Amino acid sequence: MSPSRRTVLRTGVAGAAVAAGITAIPAAPAAAALPDTGVSVYPFPLSAVTLLSGPFQANMGRTHSYLSFLDADRLLHMFRLNVGLPSSAAAMGGWESPTTELRGHSLGHVLTALAQGYANAGPAAFKTKGDYLVAELAKCQDRATTAGFNTGYLSAYPESFIDRVEARQSVWAPYYTLHKIMAGLLDMHLLAGNAQALTVLTRMAAWVKFRNDRLTLTQRQNMLDTEFGGMNETLTNLYQLTGDANHLATAQYFDHAEVFDPLASNVDALNNYHANTQIPKVLGAIREYHATGTTRYRDIAVNFWDIVVGRHSYAIGGNSNGEYFKAPNRIASELSDTTCECCNSYNMLKLTRQLFFTNPARADYMDYYEKALYNHILGAQDPSSSHGFHCYYVPMRPGGIKTYSNDYNNWTCCHGTGMESNTKYVDSIYFHSGMTCTSTSSSPRCSSGPAGASPYGRRRRTRRRPPPGSPSPARGRSRCGCGFHRGPVARRSGSTAWSRASRSRPGRTRS
């Protein structure tokens, strides 16, 4: 009898105990000041894995072309005007128009995409462009007080937007936008080695602390009714990176009790909540567990994932109708042209990945990851667009038609997360637990990164399928070709019905 996916995983994990003498793989990212608590599986750096030709690489190539095409000065236009600096660049459209209250969020997505692209297969020019954006943002931040803002403030809109969210006056989602910028700065530091990005980010974090220290608990909780992205996630990541407890305290200001309390009790109260407002909060919760060891945070994240995947998700792994969660277990009756917002699956995959780090014995985490990656994210990009234009929704209504973004006039959240998704396909193929390498792809292919780019080694070697007639690996295990260790590989794909079905269809093979 062939082993089940779960059995294969356990075999691989257990195999770690017999693969003695392997010390080359660090237990935690070398850059972090603090280790993650409750984590037993770790990712390889983006530089350590290379996509081979296929649909994933093709998607990535289109997004790389777009990142090369984008005019940095147009992205900076409203940031400069906001602090009185001159700018002659043409204004952009969509959610980046000069009058849209989310303006500036896309630059954060671009920073993350450039950093990820630079770290994995992209040109050096990505770092050059990212470094330029960071340096120009720093100039804007330096002029905060001159422009009448508080020290450390950095945005493409005035600080009065924060006054409005604190006063519960009408405003779109200012902290959502700031979160994207902060996450982009952190990625430019971690993935592209930009020291200035950490300085700018740390000043922004101090400004966030200053704004929220002044509020009562009730004022802060009321403010959290307005979408704020993953402020708790990025600030916790900054705490783990720096060890500065102020960042953790600030992150916890964004723990939204109205959402977290029922989840901690495993109660599904998600009906009529805006879906993608909630997912990043829970991504913050699992990172807060990793930072603090407080199991309530872990329970919130685990329960949320079980509820969303089990009761609120479509066959392709997406969720939400008209951007909202509906009543549980009614997903089949919620078919429209506005189902499966792409950002939701982008964030669900990030959450799933963190939960897998926390409990790799749950094979259903990576079952879901593969399902949503293949059937939602991969198919959300326009294959006929050389710039990787992206869906906002993937319609589940029979006969529904995908519509796509464009270069400068359709900036949305999903255009932004689309750039991110299509520059990090290698981030969840291989994992390790110190001595055992786990592959979540049906066709393990692992290569070390370019010379000098990886802390793990300098060889560049790609593992390919064995020739016909080669002996099959015993019990699903094989020797990893990554060159990092000699332990067994736990291969975790291919045992579920949907997985077999998806790979049997042309164009669905991940390469």
- Per CB under 5 A, residues contacting Zn ion are 341, 343, 413-414
Neighbours of 510 (CB within 10 A): 23
Per DSSP, what are the bridge partners of residue 319? Answer: 313
Instruction: Supply the minimum distance, in Å, between the C-beta of residue 342 and Zn ion.
Output: 6
**Could you tell me the smallest distance in angstroms from the CB atom of residue 394 to Zn ion?**
11
The distance of closest approach from Cβ of residue 341 to Zn ion in the complex, given in angstroms and rounded to an integer, is 5
Q: Using the minimum distance from each CB to Zn ion, give the nearer residue, 173 or 224.
A: 173
With CB atoms as reference, the residue minimizing the distance to Zn ion is 343
Q: How far is the CB of 109 from Zn ion (least distance, A)?
A: 11
Residues with Cβ within 8 Å of 317's Cβ and at least 6 positions away in sequence, in order, are 345, 348, 368, 371, 372, 373, 375, 376
Q: Which is nearer to Zn ion, 400 or 455 (CB)?
A: 400
Interatomic CA distance for residues 117 and 455, integer angstroms? 18
Would you say 12 or 229 has its CB closer to Zn ion? Answer: 229
How many residues does the structure list for the chain? 511
341/370 with CB nearer Zn ion? 341
Three-state SS for 360-383 is CCCHHHHHHHHHHHHHHHHHHECC
The Cα angle at residue 363 between residues 499 and 464, in degrees rounded to 5 = 60
CB of 340 to Zn ion, least distance (A): 10
**C-alpha span between 423 and 425 (Å, rounded):** 6
Whole-angstrom distance, CA of residue 206 vs CA of residue 260: 25
Question: Which tokens in the block code for residue 203?
Answer: 């000043």
Residue type, 35: P
Alpha-carbon span 162 to 76, nearest angstrom: 20
**Quick one: which of 384, 407, 403 has its CA closest to 395?**
403
Nearer to Zn ion by Cβ, of 136 and 341: the residue is 341
The widest CA-to-CA distance across the chain, in whole angstroms, is: 72
- Minimum Å gap between C-beta 414 and Zn ion is 4
Q: Which is nearer to Zn ion, 102 or 343 (CB)?
A: 343
Give dist(CA 228, CA 171) in Å, integer. Answer: 12
Q: Which residues make Cβ contacts (< 8 Å) with residue 86, sequence separation at least 6?
A: 80
Q: Which is nearer to Zn ion, 41 or 343 (CB)?
A: 343
Helix or strand run (H / E) with residue 42: strand 42-43
Q: How far is CA 307 from CA 38, 268, 315, 329, 341, in A?
A: 22, 7, 15, 10, 18
Comparing CB distances to Zn ion, the nearer of 237 and 410 is: 410
CB 113 within 8 A of CB 423: yes
Residue holding tokens 């101090």?
206
- The Cβ of residue 406 has, within 10 Å, a number of other Cβ atoms equal to 15
Between 341 and 367, whose beta carbon lies closer to Zn ion?
Answer: 341
- For 19, residues 6+ apart whose C-beta sits below 8 A from its C-beta are 435, 436, 485, 486, 487, 488
Judge contact between 155 and 79, C-beta under 8 A.
yes
User: Shortest approach of Zn ion to residue 235 CB, angstroms?
Assistant: 22
Q: Which is nearer to Zn ion, 10 or 274 (CB)?
A: 274
Nearer Cβ to Zn ion (103/127) = 103
Smallest separation (angstroms) from Zn ion to the CB of 259: 19
Nearer to Zn ion, 200 or 413 (CB): 413
How many CA atoms lie within 13 Å of 496's alpha carbon, on the beta-carbon side? 18
Task: Report the C-alpha gap between 77 and 369 in whole angstroms.
Answer: 37
* Segment (H or E) for 430: strand 430-432
Beta carbons of 205 and 235 less than 8 angstroms apart: yes
Q: Residue holding tokens 């089949």? A: 332
Judged by beta carbon, residue 227 or residue 341, the one nearer Zn ion is 341
